[in-house]
């Protein structure tokens, strides 16, 4: 029996959709279906998932396997962890799901430093928004998450390390009408132009909504789930947006956008950025070492 097939079976029972889970895994939907079929063969040809209905439903055999699969995987992982103590050369995955700023601009330098001293660490980084990163952590698809907001999750469920701070800037095209007389603009002028921002689940959007209630007056016309695409949209149009200071400064240095200051309205205080793990979740040797180094 392939232990990874069991892991994916458990994830499938959480997602309740072959197509949705396939989008999150580095395998195709057909491969995922093959894995389930192989599990069914391993157990003598039983049917684990009722494929005759449109609704995702486990059979009685599937429910029984779902219950025991978690125990099997826990035993396997704990055994692997114990055995690893005798194998100093064992390769260990460190899987991180992170939003753009922690994942692309803050964590890489720590990862590179750790990897140079621990060659058996195999880092896998997935860039998602904060909500999705916390979901991946909760669902066992990542060991750690890098986030800009806890969204609606209970902070008490996590251990976390503050790894940086960030603040936001309004941005526009270098040729925008708003900056003909400088980058200090009146908010009542700002709201005359279309606004593009991040999708629901983004830490940037979540923090912006909480700390800048006047956002409701903005002329919101577009949602885009990628910061680079937002920069491209703003750079070549009359759209305005909100952007992390880290990304805004880099884009402005490249001549792609201009940052704006709002008259008589300081935008947003600095927000913390966090590196997160589940409380009471046992980590592998190198995973714990990376956590401890980042914490110190």
Q: Could you read off the pLDDT of 31-40 as tens digits, one per residue? A: 999 999 999 9
Top CATH class, 168-269: alpha beta
Res 271: pLDDT = 85
CB of 256 closer than 8 Å to CB of 250? no
Round the average pLDDT of the chain to a whole number and report it. Answer: 90
Res 167: pLDDT = 87
Top CATH class, 3-84: mainly alpha
Domain residue spans of the chain:
3-84, 92-165+272-295, 168-269
Q: Give residue-wise pLDDT tens across range 56-101.
A: 899 999 999 999 998 999 899 888 878 777 766 678 999 999 999 9
184-185 and 258-262 strand pairing? parallel
CB of 189 closer than 8 Å to CB of 265? no
Cα(first)–Cα(last) distance of the chain, in Å? 41
CB of 168 closer than 8 Å to CB of 244? yes
Q: Do domains 3-84 and 168-269 have the same CATH topology?
A: no
3-class SS at 143?
A: coil
Res 210: pLDDT = 86
Answer whether residue 232 shows pLDDT above 70.
Answer: yes
> Could you give the dihedral angle defined by the CA atoms of residues 209, 215, 216 and 219, in that order, rounded to the nearest 10 degrees?
-130
CATH of 92-165+272-295, one of 2.60.120.10, 3.30.70.360, 3.40.190.90, 3.40.190.10: 3.40.190.10
């Amino acid at each position: 029996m392939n232990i990874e097939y069991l892991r994916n079976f458990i994830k499938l029972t959480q997602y309740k959709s072959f197509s949705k889970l396939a989008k999150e895994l580095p395998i195709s939907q057909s491969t995922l279906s093959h894995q389930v079929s192989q599990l069914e063969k391993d157990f003598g040809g039983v049917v684990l998932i009722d494929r005759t209905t449109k609704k995702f439903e486990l059979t009685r055999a599937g429910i029984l396997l779902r219950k025991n699969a978690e125990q099997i995987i826990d035993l396997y992982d704990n055994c692997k962890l114990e055995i690893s103590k005798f194998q100093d050369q064992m390769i260990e995955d460190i899987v991180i799901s992170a939003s753009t700023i922690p994942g692309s601009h803050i964590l890489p330098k720590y990862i590179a430093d750790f990897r140079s001293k621990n060659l058996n660490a195999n880092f896998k980084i997935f860039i998602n928004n904060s909500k999705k990163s916390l979901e991946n952590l909760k669902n066992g698809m990542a060991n750690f998450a890098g986030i800009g907001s806890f969204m609606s999750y209970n902070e008490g469920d996590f251990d976390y390390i503050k790894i940086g701070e960030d603040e936001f800037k309004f941005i526009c095209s270098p040729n925008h009408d708003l900056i003909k007389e400088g980058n200090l603009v009146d908010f009542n002028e700002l709201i005359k132009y279309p606004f593009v921002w991040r999708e629901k689940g983004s830490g940037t959007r979540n923090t912006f909504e909480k700390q800048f209630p006047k956002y409701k007056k903005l002329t919101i016309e577009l949602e885009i789930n990628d910061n680079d695409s937002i920069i491209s949209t703003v750079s070549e149009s009359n759209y305005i947006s909100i952007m992390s200071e880290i990304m805004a400064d880099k884009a402005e240095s490249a001549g792609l956008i201009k940052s704006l200051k709002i008259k008589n309205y300081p935008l947003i205080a600095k927000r913390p950025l966090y590196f997160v793990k589940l409380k009471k979740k046992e980590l592998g040797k190198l995973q714990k070492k990376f956590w401890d180094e980042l914490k110190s």
